[in-house]
A = this chain, B = another copy of it.
Amino acid sequence: MTILSTPSLYAAEPQIAPQVQNAAQASFKEWAEVLAIPNDSAVAADIQRNAAWFEQVFQRRGFHTRQLANNGKPLLFAEFPKSDPGLPTVLFYGHMDGQPVNPSEWQQKSPWVPVLKQRNAAGQWEAMPLDKLFAKDVNPEWRLFARASADDKAPIMMLLAAIDALKAGGKTPAINLKVILDAEEEKGSPSLGAVVKRNQDLLKSDMLVVLDGPMHPSNQPTLVFGNRGIVVGTLKVYGPKQDSHSGHYGNYAANPAQLMARLLASMKDDEGRVTVPGYYDGVKLDADSLRVMRAVPDDEAALRQRLGIAVADKVGQNYQEAMQYPSLNVRGMQSGDVGEKARTVVPALAVAELDLRTVPETEPAALVALLKGFVEKQGFHLVNGEPSDADRARYPKLASLTFESASASSSAVRTDLNAPIGNWLRRSLTKTYGKEPVQIRMMGGTVPTGALVDALKVPFVIVPLVNADNNQHSANENMRLGNYINGVNTLVGILSEPFSSKP
């Protein structure tokens, strides 16, 4: 189990109001309860149990709820009674489902039986009685281990606790509040867009706040304004019709691995920048964006050490800048066989699996068109499917390049750093923490925000609340209690902050 140390921001924070602290701790019981319900969306019955459970805890807090039909894997909609019809409506997004588990990889009996742990003097995680989670004093460094303890049941529980804290203080939210809980996020939210479109009136909102994903590794309060999209494809380069004897045909039949190498090499320079003309067109980083990116406290030396690389590709001046550009990544490559199975042949075929991470300025279809044109310009004739004998007789270089069609849930989306929603959230977090949050203009990975943005046409910001070292998607997923309590405090701040578009 790899658990990185998470910097504690708990000690450094201003005092958290007692009703916030109490509401957070009081919610631990429900949190532990819901973590006992398996939530792999491959199992419809489990999603139904989660939806029913969440529906009931939202209702208990006065929300109106409705399960949104989705082939047996319902999404959950919840709406808090309007504070004032004149106030803007903010839709909060979270997801009930979690990654599949391999229990044998977990250092506890079951991923569905949450275990409270603390780190011992040797730095190892040691189980404690679960009762300690429900006692008066909890240590912010303790962590609760279970599937979905962080991703993404914790943020939903934090939102409920924030409502409780407001209520305890006799307040109502400063905005109108809707919630949508996804049921298939870990499968790429294949149904989210369609369900939202079918329930557009219900979900109608002015803004979207996504409660998902990890905070910046520095564990500083974080706002994420966008995410890259993805489209995957396959490049094939054809050699002789069959694998051919490398003695008789080496130096005669062109080797497709070699041709593939030339082709891929032509697509990037020696420092990792794509050389396909136009690939980066449209990406413009203004002075303000550059400043915000430079302000992100990335420890790139530590990052490079963790990756085991001496230098990074030079697509941007730093990590944050690199994520503003579309990527062209060889995620897999094969020709003939390697290792024990290697034979002395000129292989018949070379295959490269590609993934392009897209940005809002670069539509997947446009990148694919640029790539196809570039491959042709390198002298390759592109075929659909296998080349025919006639193709083989006619064209010196044969390749095929196919891409899966891109979907809204895998599209790139970004909200302007100075959009009203950004100003509102930045103001709130700055008030809560006494300093500006880390602002991620664009995260490198792909999340299904695009499906919501596409369906609702609203500006969005992601507000991640869980520790970056939560082992999400792996065994031994965990949530740091300090982050949980701070997350509730963050949400109380947001719900209390009157909306205004001013910075």
- Tell me if A's interface is mostly helix, strand, loop or mixed: mixed
Q: Which of A437-470 contact B (CB under 8 A)?
A: 443-446
**Contact A331/B322 with A250-B355, A353-B336 known, Cβ cut-off 8 Å:** no
State whether B445 touches A248 (Cβ < 8 A).
Answer: yes
Bound Cα distance from A394 to B394, whole angstroms: 48
State whether B313 touches A247 (Cβ < 8 A).
Answer: no
Q: State which of B315, B329, B395 has its C-beta within 8 Å of the C-beta of A246.
A: B329
State whether B264 touches A310 (Cβ < 8 A).
Answer: no
Q: Which of A245-277 contact B (CB under 8 A)?
A: 245-255, 257-258, 260-266, 268, 270, 272
Residues of B within 8 A of A308 (CB): 240-241, 387, 389, 392
State whether A241 touches B307 (Cβ < 8 A).
Answer: yes
State whether A342 touches B347 (Cβ < 8 A).
Answer: no
Residues of B within 8 A of A232 (CB): 342, 344
Residues of B within 8 A of A355 (CB): 246, 250, 344
Shortest CB-to-CB span from A192 to chain B, Å, is 18
Residues of B within 8 A of A338 (CB): 234, 332-334, 351-353
State whether B396 touches A446 (Cβ < 8 A).
Answer: no
Q: State which of B272, B323, B339, B446 has its C-beta within 8 Å of the C-beta of A258.
A: B272
Bound Cα distance from A376 to B444, whole angstroms: 32
Residues of B within 8 A of A332 (CB): 257, 335-338, 341-343, 347
**Contact A309/B357 with A248-B444, A332-B335 known, Cβ cut-off 8 Å:** no
State whether B327 touches A251 (Cβ < 8 A).
Answer: yes
Q: Which of A303-328 contact B (CB under 8 A)?
A: 304-313, 315-316, 319, 322-323, 325, 327
State whether B261 touches A444 (Cβ < 8 A).
Answer: no
Question: How many copies of this chain?
Answer: 2
**Contact A246/B336 with A308-B389, A316-B251, A357-B251 known, Cβ cut-off 8 Å:** no
State whether A257 touches B251 (Cβ < 8 A).
Answer: no
Give 1 or 0 for each of A358-393: 1 = CB within 8 Å of chain B CB: 000000000000000000000100000001010011
State whether B357 touches A250 (Cβ < 8 A).
Answer: yes
- Interface centre among A241, A313, A393, by most chain B C-beta atoms within 10 angstroms, is A313
The chain B residue with its CB closest to the CB of A341 is B332
Q: Which of A291-308 contact B (CB under 8 A)?
A: 304-308
Q: Is A230 part of the binding interface, using a Cβ–Cβ cutoff of 8 Å?
A: yes
Shortest CB-to-CB span from A389 to chain B, Å, is 7
Bound Cα distance from A387 to B265, whole angstroms: 24
Bound Cα distance from A358 to B57, whole angstroms: 75
Shortest CB-to-CB span from A476 to chain B, Å, is 16
**Contact A305/B393 with A246-B327, A272-B254, A333-B335 known, Cβ cut-off 8 Å:** yes
CB<8 Å pairs between A and B, sample of 28: A234-B338, A241-B308, A246-B327, A247-B357, A248-B443, A250-B355, A251-B315, A251-B323, A252-B322, A252-B323, A253-B307, A253-B312, A254-B313, A255-B329, A257-B332, A258-B272, A260-B261, A265-B266, A308-B387, A309-B396, A329-B344, A331-B336, A331-B342, A331-B343, A332-B335, A333-B335, A334-B334, A336-B353
